[in-house]
């Protein structure tokens, strides 16, 4: 019973981490979508570059925090 509860907690922890990573990549798409619809070329260029950076920072930060929690079994 205790092992099943632990496995279930690990599973839902992994699901939450995957969901946050997907959400982070979608947040990174917002500036890129804005860049495609603006008329200011300089700001569009900045937003186009910032979008993947924002998404990757969110994903990497999430994975590092999740890894630390996984190692400490703090889910």
Q: Please give the pLDDT value at position 13.
A: 95
Does any domain span residue 24?
yes
Q: Please give the pLDDT value at position 57.
A: 98
Does any domain span residue 33?
yes
Does any domain span residue 12?
no
CB 24 within 8 A of CB 62: yes
Q: List the chain pLDDT tens, one digit each, 75 residues.
A: 888 988 999 999 999 999 999 999 999 999 999 999 999 999 999 999 999 999 999 999 999 999 999 999 877
Range of the domain at 61: 18-72
- Chain centre to alpha carbon of residue 46: 21
- Please tell me the distance from the alpha carbon of residue 7 to that of residue 13, in angstroms, as a whole number: 10
Instruction: Say how many domains are in the chain.
Output: 1
Q: How far apart are the first and last CA of the chain?
A: 18
- Please tell me the distance from the alpha carbon of residue 57 to that of residue 73, in angstroms, as a whole number: 24
């Amino acid at each position: 019973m205790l092992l099943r509860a632990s496995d279930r907690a690990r599973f839902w922890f992994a699901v939450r981490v995957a969901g946050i990573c997907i959400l982070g990549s979608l947040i990174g798409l917002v500036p890129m979508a804005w860049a495609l619809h603006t008329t200011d070329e300089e700001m569009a260029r900045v937003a186009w570059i910032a979008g993947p950076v924002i998404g990757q920072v969110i994903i990497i930060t999430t994975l590092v925090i999740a890894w630390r929690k996984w190692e400490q079994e703090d889910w």
